[in-house]
Amino acid sequence: MNAFAQRRLRNLALTGMSAGILIAINQLYDMSLRDAAFMNGWVLFAGMVFLSLFNLRKKLNVLPLVPAGAWLQMHIYVGGLCSLLFLLHSEFVLPNGTFETILWLLFVVVVVSGFTGLLLSRILPPRMDARGERVIFERIPFLRAQVARQVQELAMRSVQETRASTIADFYVKELAPYLYRPRNFLGNLVGSHRAERRLHVAIQALERYLDERGRAILGEIDALITAKANLDYQYALQLVLKLWLFFHLPLNYSLMLFSVLHIVIVYAFSAGAP
Amino acid sequence: MSAPRLQNFDFRSSTYERPSQTWVCGRSSTGCPCERGPDQRGRCRTTTECQPRRSGDGWACNRPAAAGGACSQGPLEDGRCCRTVPPCMPVRSLRSRRGLTTVWATLLSLAALFVIFGGSMNAQLLHPGPMIKGHAEIQNCASCHVAFEGGPLHWLAASLRPSDPLADSSKCLACHNKTKDALNPHNLGKPKLDQLTEIAATQHADTSAPWTVDASRFAFPLARDAADGPLACAACHEDHHGEWANMMQVANARCQSCHTVTFEAFSSGHPGFGSYPYLRRTRISFDHDSHNRKHFPEEAKKGTRVPETCDTCHEPDSSGHLMVTTRFEQACASCHGKDITGDTVAGVKGVPVIALPELDVDTIAERGLWIGEWPEDAIAPKISPFTKLLLAADPTTADDLKVVDELDLLDLSDANDGQLAAVGRVVWGIKELLYDIATSGMGILQTRVEASLNHSLDTDTVGRLIGHIPQDVIVAAARVWFSRLSSDVVRFRSQKAAGVTPGVIHGDSGSDKLSDQQLLQLDDDQIDPGDELLQLDEAGQPSGDVKVRAKKAAAAEPEPEAEPAAAPEPEAAETAAEPAEPAEPAAEDTAGDEAPAEPAAAGEPPRPVARPATGDLAAAAATDLETIVDPEEWAEAGGWFRKDFTLYYRPVEHEDSFVRTWLDIGANAFGTPAEHYGEALFAMLNDKNTPGRCTKCHSVDRQPGGALMVNWQPFQPKSTEVPFTNFVHDAHFSALEDKGCVACHQLSPGAKYQDSYQGQDPTKFVSNFAPMQRELCAECHVQSSAGDNCTMCHQYHIGDFTQATMSTKMAALDQPATAGAAPAPAAPAADANAPPAADVPAAADAPATALPAAPGVAIAEAPWFERLPQMLASMLQWLAPGVSHELERPDLPQMAPDAAPPDPAPRADAGS
């Protein structure tokens, strides 16, 4: 068993034990004629505060705090515990008040987005590694422009060297729209390469109209098309890896604010529930 | 051909990425970003491709290799780059956009919170959800939540204040306080709870708590014993979980948090049922064992219809919860109906109500006591208890009755003067009673019974007391028993008014003794002068017609003998063949208030006027008719009849109102000064030789005050009463299979069941059935099968709950209806429903701050994390001591530490 598996097993065991303890405490607390929602609510809120501190920790990278990787691990497992606490707190029923429904939806969206991000971060990187070159997300526009420029140059050169406009015409008609912007976003997410294959088929069909030099240029273009398709693939997957945070983070702060008001309301109108 | 590698990470060919920066170059998407990038404010700061560096005396191109390296033209002479580039439009980085989104989302959330919390629709928006159907009409949060009044700032303050567990509960009780000790555990007071706890701890000391209960008590101990005081409603009941939510659902473990006796589950450790459900003797004494083994088979042989199945006598009530006893007519009448109508009685088949006791008239006469006319054939040995009760209305007569009870009325020779005078007064009392009833109507009965028992009666009760007796029955009895009752009584009363000592008044000494034969031979004209009772006017005075007829009779007949000594002896009267000696001059009879007869001469004791026997009057009447039915036989179907000198009542049917009412009257007399009358009534009505025999089956319980109570009805569930244990019979029918009722109710042969009814304490009894076994129930009632929740069989709130009602004032009927006007919601009346301060006992003057820590309040001490708001408030107070961080508490009803919760004023719109 490697270190990663050991770490995962250890963390899962700790999380499971914590969940068991939380459930037991919740039950014992409820048995004591108290309202367990107060107890598990405060624990849940504390967990949410801890989870929110992860973002702060990433911003304060100069401080000698626990490494961000360890924070991330704690963030994941505490997030799981908070989900359990949320179920206990909401007593496994859907809310039916306006405010509580908003609060419930916020929590659900934050949790679902978080687990979605976790899932994506486990699924997508291997897929990106399995296909072509891994590129830095911020460099993709630059590289895409670079590929487009190279294909354009090849098309121009083919006119000079082959004395024919076959490749140039093909470039203008088919390749230029494909090269100058990201393409096949959804297809890339689901692993479909149909658009890329269609271009390759078209390129192969063009070969019979070219001479030797023309076919050499067309081969280079074909390679660049493959590179562009890989860039699109990397772009789609990396963008998704970044986009889930657009839900997770902003809504988390909304959730914290709504939670504070929830606490105020609960304590104001607890009706004497112990 | 494989794709070429696109990225180079060497220093010269790789650009420097700044993903954490807020702005990125606008040309990144075109593949030619600048090296410097925008500034922090998002402005492009690149005007040329490079920033030439000084090289010796000149300038050298500084364009990086990644951008193509040094250009061939080189910098201008003044050191500027020769390759200018137009400025770009920097764009935000993805990270910056995410941050901006976060900021906007936070601001939007704050705005939403401000609207939700402080807006005019805050109540609707913060409403945590629909309430149950029963609370649907509550529109104002303040109806239930004390903190709601005052607005958002008050809510904020309330959230920072220590929770008052009973403030909101008082709002609940505005509608739900239908029983005493509403907030106490099981609605019981502490003494009762302590008593039950002691019993439970003693009887079930061998039970052990599950480890979860022990762990809960160890980890989260209750601050105080729950039995010490009230518990907030919200401890168990939570609303806002939807219209169909079950607010009464309680986990088993929560029940055990307070209970001394704890156990694992119903099937494991639950205490046995003890004597449940046989907690007292049955109200109807019915020995299932003897009936089943002996009586039913015997009666069946006679051809009597006997029950074959249990449901002949028992059927589910309307709710299906309980098995109640069917009607007498269905279950019992075939055998016991004759007991009621007296068919099985050996003697006269009637209850003697008014009877003329047999008197030693000779001794009375010898001792000079005037009692007027008295039938010599009166044979009742004693005065009827009914008569006694009616006579006891006069305190003097009541004392006399006690004296008379000690005497043998058939032989008064040993009686002293005082005792004899008492006899005389009682005799006159009987005659006055008859006279008063006949002349004054039934009201006299009511007056006398009320006076005897010292409590008032309504008209219905009076009607039942007299068995709706027809006037003719009384009048005929008076007429037959006494030929001149009216004149005697009028004369007696006039002399009594004149100051003559009652009981020793010397009346007339006329010979009134007529034999039965003589009396029977009297024709109407001869009887009429003394029979004015038949023609009394409304005022009880003889009518003019009577007077006229009396005068005629006086003129036609010889003068009565003035001397008592000349009065014919009874024996002589009996031998007289002709009705030539009328008992009294008619004039005197009808004008008793004018000139009473002269008493006997001094020294000569007056003779009592003996009324001849009239027992064969009916037979005499038969002379006119071919035959006449015997009065007793006439009353075969029940009702009044007269036999000899006794007026009988024969019970009509089961639930006979006459017998029942008199038994109730007698029962209520126990424990009062009139108890001996009650005893006499009970003894006579329950005698085995008297029809009725109600208490043969209807048990009699002794009430706390000493009075008795006849259980006229078998157990009847009270709709307003909630018992601790609730068993639903009809839900179990399908599980009984062939065994039926016997599956649970097994007879206990040989049990001394009937002995239980010798006393009057219903709790001292021996059941007809063997104790029920918990194991039988536990065969099905486990968690995985039929369920074993505590609340499946037990109720938490027990007791008698007052039925909710309306108290609409009649003035409201005059108010015109408003078209389309919605009914006033219940909620705004919240303040009005709060109990007034004056109603709150003891602690009304206590400071408000004492509320949360009121001793006796059974609340769990909040753990530290639940006190965070309070700690925050304290911290704010410490940081800014001059600023108040807590708003004024609203005026709440104060709860006395040891007192029951305040009883709020009744609401017009109160729901159950």
CA distance B191 to chain A (A): 22
DSSP state of B909: T
Q: In this structure, are A21 and A109 located in the same domain?
A: yes
A184-238: pLDDT as tens digits: 999 999 989 888 899 999 999 999 999 999 999 999 999 999 999 999 999 999 9
Nearest chain B alpha carbon to A27: B216
A46 chain-B contacts, CB cut-off 8 A: 865
DSSP A81-149: HHHHHHHHHTTT----SHHHHHHHHHHHHHHHHHHHHHHHHHHHHHHHHHSS----GGGHHHHHHHHHH
Distance of CA A195 to CAs A183, A191, B582, Å? 8, 11, 143
A264 chain-B contacts, CB cut-off 8 A: 155-156, 159
* Sequence-ordered strand ranges (E) for B84-174: 91-92
Closest CA to B373 of B533, B245, B256: B533
B8 chain-A contacts, CB cut-off 8 A: none
| End-to-end CA gap in chain A | 49
Closest CA to B675 of B667, B686, B687: B667
B684-696: pLDDT as tens digits: 888 888 888 888 8
Does B435 score more than 70 pLDDT? yes
DSSP B748-791: -TT--TGGGGSSS-TTS---SBPPP-HHHHHTT-STTTT---HH
Per the structure, the count of domains in chain A is 2
Contacts of B125 (CB under 8 A, 6+ apart): A98, A99, B115, B116, B119
Confirm whether A91 is domain-assigned: yes
Work out the pLDDT band at A152, boundaries 50, 70, 90.
very high
Q: In this structure, are A126 and A248 located in the same domain?
A: yes
CA atoms of B274 and A74, how far apart (whole Å): 57
CA atoms of B192 and B257, how far apart (whole Å): 19
H-helix or E-strand containing B315?
A: strand B314-316
Task: Please report which residue ranges of B119-189 form alpha helices under DSSP H.
Answer: 122-126, 152-160, 167-176
Q: In this structure, are A144 and A187 located in the same domain?
A: yes
B407-432: pLDDT as tens digits: 888 888 888 888 888 888 899 999 98
CA atoms of A37 and A86, how far apart (whole Å): 10
Indicate yes or no: CB of A269 within 8 angstroms of CB of B155: yes
Give the pLDDT score at A41.
Answer: 95
Comparison of pLDDT for B510 and B56, the residue scoring more: B56
B732-752: pLDDT as tens digits: 988 887 888 988 899 988 888
Q: In this structure, are A194 and A108 located in the same domain?
A: no
Does B570 score more than 70 pLDDT? no
Work out the pLDDT band at B492, boundaries 50, 70, 90.
confident
Q: Are B587 and B597 spatial neighbours (Cβ–Cβ below 8 Å)? A: no
B314-316 and B323-325 strand pairing: antiparallel
Give the pLDDT score at B769.
Answer: 92
Nearest to A99 among B126, B141, B145 (CB): B126
CA atoms of B111 and B121, how far apart (whole Å): 14
Q: Is the peptide bond before B901 cis (omega within 30 degrees of 0)?
A: no
Nearest chain B alpha carbon to A24: B212
Q: Which of the listed ranges A44-53, B46-55, B313-322, B717-726 does the model predict with the highest average pLDDT?
A: A44-53
Indicate yes or no: CB of B253 within 8 angstroms of CB of A263: no
Work out the pLDDT band at B810, boundaries 50, 70, 90.
confident
Distance of CA B755 to CAs B643, B685, B713, B762, B766, Å? 37, 21, 20, 11, 8
B147-203: pLDDT as tens digits: 888 888 888 888 888 777 778 888 888 888 667 778 888 888 888 888 888 888 888
Give the pLDDT score at B449.
Answer: 83
Counting one residue from A and one from B, how many pairs have CB atoms under 8 Å apart? 235
CA distance A38 to chain B (A): 7
Q: How far is CA A272 from the centre of its chain?
A: 44
DSSP B426-441: HHHHHHHHHHHHHHH-
CA distance A118 to chain B (A): 18
Q: Which residues pair with A55 in a beta bridge?
A: none
Q: In this structure, are A31 and A108 located in the same domain?
A: yes
B235 chain-A contacts, CB cut-off 8 A: 33-35, 272-274
Does B584 score more than 60 pLDDT? no
Q: Are B212 and B253 spatial neighbours (Cβ–Cβ below 8 Å)? A: yes
Give the pLDDT score at B606.
Answer: 45
Nearest to B31 among A142, A219, A274 (CB): A142
Q: Are B295 and B684 spatial neighbours (Cβ–Cβ below 8 Å)? A: no
B895-909 mean pLDDT: 36
Q: In this structure, are A8 and A113 located in the same domain?
A: yes
Lowest-confidence region among B11-20, B231-240, B247-256, B284-293: B11-20
Indicate yes or no: CB of A272 within 8 angstroms of CB of B254: no
Q: In this structure, are A254 and A172 located in the same domain?
A: no
CA atoms of B118 and B125, how far apart (whole Å): 10
CA atoms of B647 and A75, how far apart (whole Å): 100
B98 chain-A contacts, CB cut-off 8 A: 242, 245-246, 249-250
Work out the pLDDT band at A67, boundaries 50, 70, 90.
confident
A147-151 mean pLDDT: 93
Give the pLDDT score at A160.
Answer: 92
Work out the pLDDT band at B144, boundaries 50, 70, 90.
confident
- Burial profile A241-264: b = 16 or more Cβ within 10 angstroms, e = fewer: bbebbbbbbbbbbbbbbbbebbbb
Closest CA to B584 of B486, B516, B484, B514: B484
Confirm whether A143 is domain-assigned: yes
Chain A interface, best mutation among B5, B6, B871, by max A CB count within 10 A? B6
A96 chain-B contacts, CB cut-off 8 A: 128-130, 240-242
CA distance A6 to chain B (A): 33
CA atoms of B616 and B863, how far apart (whole Å): 96
Residue type, B504: V
Within 10 A of B709 (CB to CB), how many other CB atoms are there?
Answer: 17
Nearest chain B alpha carbon to A32: B257
Give the pLDDT score at B875.
Answer: 59
Confirm whether A273 is domain-assigned: no
Nearest chain B alpha carbon to A246: B98
A230 chain-B contacts, CB cut-off 8 A: 3
Indicate yes or no: CB of A96 within 8 angstroms of CB of B242: yes
Q: Where do we find the tokens 């009592």?
A: B608
Work out the pLDDT band at A255, boundaries 50, 70, 90.
very high
Nearest to B98 among A35, A145, A249 (CB): A249
Indicate yes or no: CB of A264 within 8 angstroms of CB of B108: no
* SS3 of residue B709 by DSSP: strand
Residue type, B331: A
Q: Which of the listed ranges B316-325, B621-630, B856-865 does the model predict with the highest average pLDDT?
A: B316-325
Q: In this structure, are A123 and A152 located in the same domain?
A: no
Work out the pLDDT band at B886, boundaries 50, 70, 90.
very low
Does B620 score more than 60 pLDDT? no
H-helix or E-strand containing B110?
A: helix B94-118
A168-178: pLDDT as tens digits: 999 999 999 99
Does B617 score more than 80 pLDDT? no
Q: Which of the listed ranges A132-141, B95-104, B730-739, B872-881 does the model predict with the highest average pLDDT?
A: B95-104
Nearest to B144 among A100, A271, A273 (CB): A271
B102-113 mean pLDDT: 95
DSSP state of B904: P
The mean pLDDT of chain B is 74
Give the pLDDT score at A216.
Answer: 94
CA atoms of B405 and B391, how far apart (whole Å): 13
B337-357: pLDDT as tens digits: 888 888 888 788 889 888 888
Lowest-confidence region among A260-269, B181-190, B858-867: B858-867
Token pair, residue B306, equals 């006997």
For residue A184, the enclosing domain spans: 137-240
Nearest to A31 among B32, B97, B257 (CB): B257
Nearest chain B alpha carbon to A41: B866
The mean pLDDT of chain A is 91
